[in-house]
Chains A and B, each alone.
Chain A
Amino acid sequence: MNNETAFNNINLRMDKGYRKREFRRKVNLAIRYAILTIGAIIMLYPIVWLVGASFKTNSEIFSSISFIPKKIDFTPYVKGWITGTQYTFATYYLNTFKYVIPKVIFTVVSSVLTAYGFSRFDFPFKKPLFAILISTMFLPQIVLRIPLYLFWKQLHLLDTFIPLYANDIFAAEAFFVFMIIQFMRGIPKELDEAAKIDGCNSFTILTRILLPVITPAIVSVTIFQFMWSMNDFMGPLIYISTVSKYPVSIALKMAMDATSGNFEWNKIIAMSVIALIPSIVVFFSAQKYFVEGISTSGLKG
């Protein structure tokens, strides 16, 4: 009898403690959600507003906070696509891809080769060379701009797309090399040894054994380089001077400069949305690679 009441007492106390903790957990959760939601709205609203505003009339853009247009109007897109120049956005997109695609391909190939050399072989001066590789990641690129411009001028290659991707033939962006090195280090060397016994040489070990395993890293490099080259502005600004060769970023700048007088704001906004579409599509189709890529490469340094 006595035993039983004691037991009940304990049970009751535990129950009280449990409920208190459960209540605090719920409050904690609610606070987290509240902060996250308000933050997410602030973060995303400008982009949502941009998309909405691209359908609005010019007067409505500056008179309403709401992103929903009163009337959906596609004329800004039609006008934006035609642009004010003799070329349509199709030309500017084509120009963009003329250097973005080579850039991505060269980056992947050269970074994989360099990463393979550093992660699987021993060679003279490996340590200092690796240290140099890492330190180029921290080198402010701005200090190289002027001599590189003069270099391409001497070769008569200004106003071509070559200066925008040539350095990537030589794995110039150490960030990507490092990303793949980190990934390769995680693959057991026994795999290579076994392949060697089976008669693979060093190159076939790379193509047949390692490449299939490092595919996620390659996808990460591809999409990061794609995004960053789509965003590159200073490069084309310096090197491309003929309108027919303008990429999207410079075309947009030109439209912005031209519009400052005649208030066709919705056209500019529609053009901005068009300029963002490839990046948004790539982001959503390859989301998980972004997060994985940035956390492995950034962290393990």
Chain B
Amino acid sequence: MENRRIGLLYILPWLIGLVIFTIYPFVTSLILSFTNYNIINAPQFIGIQNYVNMFHDSTFWTSFTATLEYVVITVPLKLIFSLFIAFILNYKLKGINFYRTAYYIPSILGGNIAIAVLWKFVFANTGLVNQVLGVFGIKPVGWFSTGLGAIFTISALRVWEFGSTMVIFLAGLKDIPQELYEAAAVDGAGKIKTFFKVTIPLLTPIIFFNLVMQLIQAFQEFNGPYMITQGGPLYKTYLLPMMIYDNSFKFFNMGYGSAISWFLFIIIMIFTMFVFSSSKYWVFYSDEGGGES
């Protein structure tokens, strides 16, 4: 059949790219993680030595803890904010476009390095946040001088960018059939009960999607710690991607960098797998909607 070959022809560029830019580097980084490689000399096979060193490296543990803190703070907060605002916006409001834009803009601009610069000024000792706190009689906070403050600062940047997840939730809310709300009202369910018994269950596929995406992205955060806190104070915001960057592209310790990359990859997989395998207990696919895709 001629037709069967034509389809392959169209996806051929993607297939070639998959091999060169995904499969090859994926396998290579695993191999490199078992070597000692400083770019100048040829890679030297050293078995699991990089991983052994990693588990004895106190900086690695601080970095790993900071990464977990960052993910545990940002992912739920981002999902809660975006769901909350989407829920309020999902109502016949005048000026809805203005509000949607206002909440959406930070998620589009937030990745720009200029926003990281802005964040430094906003959280500086005499910066905007401390000035606002001063108005309420609160003493200035040294955001960058404590581990907790610094983690909060870079987390705030990610949470501030909740607009894109909010738009996805908003589209999901619009897809919920009006009859279901009417049926709930007939059954005498109040607002809050309807929210938890109708809205949330029907949104679970979207919550699931957003949760997985946000987890994967949060674990790979680089710009915030690199530009805003420089990993400080005392490595308290030295997230794993920054440690990978330093080891690979500053110290040219490619083997060690690959080992940390693979550790991070496995951690992300564990979290993702956990969400996937738990999904059968909390994600509901309605029969009508499931036919698509």
Contacts and interface: CB of A to CB of B under 8 A. Distances in A.
Interface of A: 29, 32-33, 35-36, 39-40, 43-47, 49-50, 53, 61-65, 110, 113-114, 116-118, 120-124, 126, 129, 132-133, 136, 138-151, 153, 166-167, 169-172, 177, 182, 185, 202, 227-228, 230-231, 233-234, 237-238, 249, 252-253, 256, 265, 268-269, 271-273, 275-276, 279-280, 283, 287, 290-291, 294-296, 298-301
Given A142-B220, A279-B109, 5 more contacts: A117-B11, A122-B7, A132-B18, A283-B108, A298-B164
- Which of B22, B115, B209 has the most CB atoms of chain A within a 10 A radius of its CB? B22
A137 B127 CA distance: 38
Contacts of A114: 10-11, 13-14
B141 interface: no
B264 to A, nearest CB: 7
Contacts of B209: 298-299, 301
Given A253-B113, A283-B105, A300-B292, A170 B88 contact: no
Q: Which 5 A-B pairs have the closest CB atoms?
A: A170-B17, A121-B7, A117-B10, A295-B171, A147-B25
A291 B135 CA distance: 37
B254 A146 contact: yes
The A interface, classified by DSSP as helix, strand, loop or mixed, is helix
A140 B111 contact: no
Given A124-B4, A227-B108, A169 B29 contact: no
Interface string B222-255: 1100010000000000000100110011000010
Given A65-B135, A144-B26, A147-B32, A36 B89 contact: yes
Contacts of B28: 147, 150
Interface stretch (B54-62, B69-77, B118-126, B277-285): B118-126
Contacts of A53: 121
A252 B127 CA distance: 20
A142 B117 contact: no
B85 A113 contact: no
A148 B257 CA distance: 13
Interface in B73-106: 85, 88-89, 91, 93, 98-106
Main SS at interface, chain B: helix
Nearest to B191: A28
B48 interface: no
B261 interface: yes
Given A32-B91, A117-B11, A146 B109 contact: no
A140 B254 contact: no
A294 B117 contact: no
18 contacts: A62-B124, A110-B13, A113-B11, A114-B14, A121-B7, A121-B8, A139-B22, A147-B258, A149-B249, A202-B6, A233-B222, A233-B223, A234-B223, A234-B245, A256-B227, A265-B121, A283-B108, A299-B175
